[in-house]
Structures are given as C-alpha cells and as structure tokens.
Amino acid sequence: MGVDRRETLTSRISASDEESVRKELGVHGQRWASIFDGYFSDPEAARPLVEAVERAIEASRPAVAADLDGGTGFVLEELLRRGLKGVRLVNVEVS
C-alpha cells in the first residue's frame, strides 16, 4: 500500500500553498526520481538517512523539525509514512 505524495503533502498544508506544492512536484518531482540514484525519491535508497533523522527526533523530542531546502518533501513524507508522531514537520523550500 503506497502513499500518494500529492495527497500526503497537500492534506497537511494550507489551501493557499497547495498550488505552489503542485507546481514544485510537477517541475522537480519527476526529475528528482532520476538523479542522485533515487536518494530523494526511493524509500529504500533513503532508508539510512530517514532512520537517522527518525532516531534523532525520537531522542531529542523537538516540537518542530524542519527540513531546510527540503525540495518536494520526500524525507518528511517518509517520516510521516513511518508513523512519526508528536513533532510538527516543516518543509522549507525557496526554489
């Protein structure tokens, strides 16, 4: 059972930001899948990074965790898919 990226991302943002997210996914989403050996689009390739971030969040219990220059939000999406709770995840992207 897969996670619909657009549904996951847009269900957690304001309506005013929804169009910006769709544009970002359309422009960069497909391209990310083809570069960096899938590191930012393939859950298995990104697993070591996602697990390290998850451990850090669980150990420090912050109220907010921000992914600076987070692109399409893939890493945060993976954390949500894994069921991470108790922290607000924020994707900061200015491209």
Residues 8, 80 contacting (CB under 8 angstroms): yes
Residues 47, 22 contacting (CB under 8 angstroms): no
4 Cβ neighbours under 8 A, 6+ residues apart: none
User: Is pTM, for the whole model, over 0.75?
Assistant: no
In the DSSP assignment, the letter for residue 41 is T
- Taking the domains of the chain in order of start, what are their residue ranges? 16-92
Q: Write the pLDDT tens digit of every residue in 33-90.
A: 666 677 777 889 889 999 999 999 999 999 999 999 888 888 999 999 999 999 999 9
